[in-house]
Amino acid sequence: MDARGKTETVIRGIAASRGIAYGQVFLYLQSELEIPRYQVDPAKRVQEIARFDQALVTTRQQIAKIQQQVRKNLSEEEALIFDAHQMVLEDQALIGETIREFETTGLNIETCFNAVGQRYIQAFSEIDDEYLRERAADIKDVTRRVLHVLLGQSAVNLTELVEKRIIVARDLSPSEAAGIDRSAALGIATDGGSRTSHAVIVARSMKIPAVVAARDLTKRVQDGDWMIVDGYEGIAILHPTQATLFRYGKIQKEKSSFESRLLAANELPAETLDGVRVTLRANIEKADEVALVRQYRGEGVGLYRTEYLYLSSHHLPNEEQQYANYRAIVEGLAPAPVTIRTLDIGGDKPLPGNPELIGPEANPFLGFRAIRMCLENPELFKEQLRAILRASAHGKVEIMYPMIGCAEELERANALLAEARAELKARGQACDDQVRVGTMIEIPSAALAADTLAPHCQFFSIGTNDLIQYLLAIDRGNNRIAHLYDPTHPAVLRVLKQVIDAAHQFRLKVSVCGEMAGDPIYAPLLVGLGVDELSMTPPLLPAVKYLVRAMKFSEAQKLATDCLAQTDPKKTAALVEAFYEQHVGAE
């Protein structure tokens, strides 16, 4: 029980923004919008459409104003979130469908817009990809705003919060989150949301501890309750006892001194105690992450997942649009290299605007995805290759093909690359003649026959996410078998070793860009196996660099040898965990 006689309750969620907060709850419950439904007088149809157009204009102005505030109070990067909102407002498919709905039903425009918006939100929330599911939140946020304008109501916001409180809400839209005064918000805890929701990105950038997906939290708290938000462990503790508060006081002290040491060490090179340099680069999905790469001192980008450019729009981006996007990243990070991966569509990433490119498949993960689809659509592929090559004139670019399964595919991809280059030459457009070309190793056949691929490329990047999935026959997105997805399985280690050795035999550099690379538990093992480069989501860079700097390469090599000798994955897991504890855990 706490000092006020209430029972301590621990509510589990997902850790979304690091840090610990303690304070009183500000329960923020957004009311459901009530949308009237009525038939519009046929004589007033033109005015109804004009009312819709006007609401879109007003909403655009509102968003531009918030964007300006955010740019001023936070950063350019957070302000870019609202570009996505403006794009929703300019989406001709959404607007056109609303007008068609209005023309067929004759119902008031709020009802039509709401119906179409809900269909979009539904479609995006069903996509099996966290990032795209989050775009449903953008559409939800924008439709709510437009509906507020149409109904003549002012949008809810959190700007009135003046006292220092912990905000508890069902979910927060990006614009609600951006409206929070950072000096008043101690922490954030929500029923819904995920690690990649924009609201969380904003919380992280404001360094406000946050826990999301805490299910029915809003039903269990009352305004004014005392609560701890533990953004490290992903828990909210209601009515903490004195003992818990004491424990958290200690944790907070330790964590903040460790974090400041991590960040200080992040300014230094990623070099082991015995002088071996490991390259640490960043994985990005969007151009606006360049600022994060710089902030966390990534040595360029080891994986740019370009499919998000295709996935976030209803139309395929053309060469010019792609060129502008790639160029911005390359220039933003020059002279550091940027590895641009060609379109990796299919499997867990269907193309919402152009489903016909892939079509329904019984086994999408084993289907017409990535390079397989690109080789059958050479014009689409060359359009991307030309855009990448053109960007190479502005900095250092590397091209990487996803899902290569055999040498023939690699040769065919290279032949199309040569054609794309020749087309640019014919147009008189510049590109770097020395662009390095690499292949992802993420299919067991490619891994086991890596020596047959090596003569056709300049580097390998191991995609452990897919490689483990295919090697162990475990769908990486299926929660029921998630416990079987095991990076310490002897098959995984043996295959990794074989790929790394094949690369080095051909004097190729080898990188790992799957999630394993950014996990400080596995990074030493990868380095010990001989990986030259690790690429990960930018905020993970300091922890991995800290570990690299805290260990000797010779120790990592011994760890790898010991792990390879194990037949029991549990023992391997114990070895890598012990290594971490020895080098960092005791800090």
Q: What residues are annotated to the active site?
A: 198, 513
Nearer to ligand PEP, 179 or 463 (CB): 463
Query: Which of the ranges 139-147, 315-323, 460-468, 573-581 carries the binding residues for Mg ion, by CB under 5 A?
Result: 460-468
Residue 291 CB, shortest distance to ligand PEP, in Å, is 21
Query: Which of the ranges 131-139, 218-226, 437-445, 499-507 carries the binding residues for Mg ion, by CB under 5 A?
Result: 437-445
For Mg ion, which residue of 48, 141, 466, 519 counts as binding (CB under 5 A)?
A: 466
Nearer to ligand PEP, 462 or 563 (CB): 462
Tokens 């080098």 -> residue? 583
Q: Is the dihedral of CA 343, 344, 345, 349 positive or negative?
A: negative
HEC profile of 315-354: CCCCHHHHHHHHHHHHHHHCCCEEEEECCCCECCECCCCC
Residue 25 CB, shortest distance to ligand PEP, in Å, is 37
Residue 20, SS3? strand
Angle at 332 between CA 459 and CA 72, to 5 degrees: 145
Pick from ligand PEP, Mg ion, none: which does 464 bind, CB < 5 to 8 A by kind? ligand PEP
Nearer to ligand PEP, 187 or 346 (CB): 346
Distance CA 401, CA 344 (A): 8
Nearer to Mg ion, 179 or 402 (CB): 402
Pick from ligand PEP, Mg ion, none: which does 185 bind, CB < 5 to 8 A by kind? none
Distance CA 369, CA 346 (A): 4
Nearer to ligand PEP, 258 or 365 (CB): 365
Residue 586 CB, shortest distance to ligand PEP, in Å, is 31
Q: At what angle do helices 541-550 and 242-265 cross, to 10 degrees?
A: 70
Show the tokens assigned to 96: 């056109």
Residue 464 CB, shortest distance to Mg ion, in Å, is 9
For Mg ion, which residue of 187, 463, 528, 542 counts as binding (CB under 5 A)?
A: 463
> Where along the sequence are the contacts to ligand PEP (CB under 6 A)?
303, 305, 344, 442, 463-466, 513-514
Q: Does 19 help bind Mg ion (rule: CB under 5 A)?
A: no
Pick from ligand PEP, Mg ion, none: which does 566 bind, CB < 5 to 8 A by kind? none
* DSSP E strands, 146-277: 165-169, 185-190, 210-212, 226-230, 235-238
What share of residues in the chain are helix, strand, coil (percent, to 5)? 55, 15, 30
Nearer to ligand PEP, 344 or 409 (CB): 344
Q: Is the dihedral of CA 196, 202, 207, 210 positive or negative?
A: negative
CA–chain centroid gap for 567, Å, is 34
Pick from ligand PEP, Mg ion, none: which does 117 bind, CB < 5 to 8 A by kind? none
Pick from ligand PEP, Mg ion, none: which does 141 bind, CB < 5 to 8 A by kind? none
Residue sitting closest to ligand PEP (CB): 463
Q: Is the dihedral of CA 282, 287, 290, 296 positive or negative?
A: negative
Among 452, 417, 419, smallest CA distance to 435 is for 417
Residue sitting closest to Mg ion (CB): 466
Interface residue list for Mg ion (CB under 5 A) = 442, 463, 466
